[in-house]
Amino acid sequence: MRWLNCHTRLCFNPFLQDRGRRVDQTDTEAGFQDVHVMVCVGFGFLMAFLQRYGFSSVGFTFLLAAFALQWSTLIQGFFHSLHGGHIHVGVQSMINADFCAAAVLISFGAVLGKTGPAQLLLVALLEVLLFGVNEFVLLSLLGVKDAGGSMTIHTFGAYFGLVLSRVLYRPHLEKSKHRQGSIYHSDLFAMIGTIFLWTFWPSFNSAPTMLGDGQHRTTLNTYYSLTASTLSTFALSALVGEHGRLDMVHIQNAALAGGVVVGTSGEMMLTPFGALAAGFLAGTVSTLGYKFFTPVLEAKFKLQDTCGVHNLHGMPGVLGALLGVLVAGLATHEAYGDGLGSVFPLVAEGQRSATAQAMYQLFGLLVTLTFASVGGGLGGLLLRLPFLDPPPDSQCYEDRIYWEVPGELKDEAQGSLRAEETDTRA
C-alpha cells in the first residue's frame, strides 16, 4: 500500500515495538480491544450528558476517533517505526493510535457543543501532529517513563483543550445556557460511558507495558487507584452536595480520576497502599474541582470547560506526573531487582541516577504543558476563521444544527429557536 510517495509504505508487523514503549512478542489483540472500546464507547457516552447534544457527542466522537486513528498512524509511524522507507504497523501501533485519539477526544470535551465538525477536524489535524512530536521528545529523546499517559495523553489533551477553549471564548454563551444542563436519561447514558471507562482503564494503562511484572503492577495499581477514587468521590460528593445528596456529575467523572493519576507511575513500585492513596487524593481533587474550581475558571479566567476536563484529566494528570517524579526518584536496584531494566533501563545501565531520572520526568511535564499551551493557542486562532461556520451563541449545544432529529424533538427545538430569535429581536 503506497502512502504519500513510492518511498514510504505501510507494512504489517504484528510484533512491532515502537513509541519508546516495550511490548512482548506474545502481545495479543485483547489489550487493543479494551483500549478501542474505551475510546469509541467510553468517551462517546461520557460526553452524552447534554440534554440536546447526544447525537453530536457520540457522533462527533466517532468521527474524530476515525480521523485521528488514521492520521496518528502516519505521524507516529514517521517518528517511531519508519524502517527502510516503510512504516511498520501492527497491534501495538493501533494501540498507540488509540492513545492519540484519546488525547484528541479529551480536548474535544473542553469545547463540546461550541464547535462544528469542520472546526473539530481541523484542530485534530494540528493536535495529532503536536501529540506525536511531544511524545517523541518525551519517550525517545528524554527517556521519560509514562506508560499510561498521565503526561502525554491526559495532561496534553486537557491543557490543549483548555487553551483552545480560552481562545474561542464566547462572551454571550448564556444565550444557550439552558441547553448546557442534563436530564435524567442523558445522565444515565453518560454513566454508561463511565462504567465502560472504569472497567477497562487497567487495560488502558497496562497495554503498552512489557508482559510480566511491569504489566501486573500497572494493572493492580490502576485497579486499586480507581476503587479509592470512586469511594472518595461518593463520600465528598455527599459532603459538599446540597442536603447531602450525590451529584451525578461528580460520580460520572471524578470516580475515574484514579485511572489518570497512576498513568505515569503505574508500572513503577507504587505499591497497593500508594495506589490507594493516590486514587483517594485524585478523586478528592477532582470532585472539589467540579464543585468549586470550574465556576471560578469561567468567571475569573473566561475558561468555558464544557465537560470539566481540567478536573478529570488536567489536575489528576499533573498530579500523576508529579507522583511519577517522586516514585522515579526512589527507584533502587534493591526494590526492583532484575526488573529495574524493564522500567528504568537508563538507571539500570548506570547512565542515569534515580534522581536524574526524576528530574527528566519533571522536565517532561514542563515540555508537555508547553506543547499543549502553544498548540491550543494556535488551534484556537485557526478555528476563529469565519468560513469554518461555528454555531452561533444562541444555538450551541444543539443537535439540530448538524443532524436530522426525530420529529418531536425537532418540533421542540424549532419552537425554542423561534422563541430565542424573538427575544433577540426584542
pLDDT, tens digit (0-9, with 9 covering 90-100), for 171-212: 988 888 888 889 999 999 999 999 999 999 999 999 988 778
358 vs 421, higher pLDDT = 358
Nearest-Å Rg of the Cα atoms of the chain is: 21
Which pLDDT score, from 0 to 100, does residue 414 have?
Answer: 57
pTM: 0.90
Mean pLDDT to the nearest integer, 44-66: 95
Which pLDDT score, from 0 to 100, does residue 389 have?
Answer: 82
Residue 62 makes CB contacts below 8 A (sequence gap 6+) with 40, 44
Considering the chain, what is the average pLDDT of its residues? Answer: 89
101, pLDDT greater than 90: yes
Mean pLDDT to the nearest integer, 90-106: 94
Tens-place pLDDT, residues 245-277: 999 999 999 999 999 999 999 999 999 999 999
Task: Return the minimum-mean-pLDDT range out of 144-158, 274-288, 410-424.
Answer: 410-424
Q: Which three three-digit cell numbers place residue 290?
A: 467540579
Task: Return the minimum-mean-pLDDT range out of 29-33, 67-71, 263-267, 288-292.
Answer: 29-33
* Share above pLDDT 90 across residues of the chain, in percent, rounded to a whole number: 73
Banded model confidence at residue 2, pLDDT cuts 50, 70, 90: very low
| Adjacent-strand bridge partners of 11 | 88
HSE-CB of 217 using CA atoms within 13 angstroms:
24
Which pLDDT score, from 0 to 100, does residue 111 have?
Answer: 96
Mean pLDDT to the nearest integer, 307-325: 97
Mean pLDDT to the nearest integer, 42-55: 94
CA distance 380 to 313: 20
**Max CA-CA distance within the chain?**
75
Task: Return the minimum-mean-pLDDT range out of 224-228, 397-401, 410-414.
Answer: 410-414
Banded model confidence at residue 423, pLDDT cuts 50, 70, 90: very low
CA distance 337 to 327: 16
Which domains are seen in the chain, by residue range?
Answer: 21-424 (1.10.3430.10)
321, pLDDT greater than 80: yes
Banded model confidence at residue 410, pLDDT cuts 50, 70, 90: low
Mean pLDDT to the nearest integer, 389-397: 90
Which pLDDT score, from 0 to 100, does residue 418 have?
Answer: 52
Chain centre distance of CA 87: 26
Whether residue 4 contacts residue 85, with contact meaning beta carbons closer than 8 Å, is answered with no
Chain centre distance of CA 153: 5
Q: Which three three-digit cell numbers place residue 248?
A: 451525578
Whether residue 283 contacts residue 233, with contact meaning beta carbons closer than 8 Å, is answered with yes
Chain length of the chain: 426
Q: What is the DSSP letter of 210?
A: P
237, pLDDT greater than 90: yes
Q: What are the CA-CA distances from residue 272 to residues 266, 280, 325, 331, 337 (Å)?
A: 10, 12, 18, 16, 18
